[in-house]
Amino acid sequence: MKSVCINCGTTKPKAHEICGSCFFVPETHEDLIHSIIMCYSAEEPHLNFLSIEELDMRQEEIQKGNKIKVDPQVFSQAEEAFSAVKSLDAPQLIHKFSRISSPVFMVILALMLVGLILGT
């Protein structure tokens, strides 16, 4: 599996993880989708939205300081795949908050947990 940071172009372990070079974490919906697109797996080719050559070219562009450019159709396909996987894995409450950025989500989740603990 090859995953590329959409901020600096460095290779990292997984799409949604923090970059070890620039410490960028994809938190927005758009950043998550772009991060998914910027992955390649020889073992699971059905997960690839770009060929390895296309991924390498985009990686070089990002390393030069250019923003990631993706065909709108590719973005839509990755977005659909992400939504399908997300709907299978998480409880419905998480889905409602999934469109909110992570810091806001974490505050809301912490408040809900405090409310549950103090409410019992």
Provide the b/e sequence for 69-89 (b: ≥16 CB within 10 Å).
Answer: ebeeeebeebbebbeeeeeee
pLDDT of the residue at 64: 96
Q: What is the mean pLDDT of each run of 10 residues along the chain (120 residues)?
A: 95 92 94 94 88 95 94 91 67 49 59 72
List the domain boundaries for the chain: 2-89, 91-120
Backbone CA torsion sign across 118, 90, 98, 15: positive
Whole-model pTM: value is 0.69
Gap between the terminal Cα atoms of the chain: 45
18 burial type by CB count under 10 A (0-12 exposed, 13-18 middle, 19+ buried): middle
Q: What angle do CA 77, 78, 84 make, to 5 degrees?
A: 90
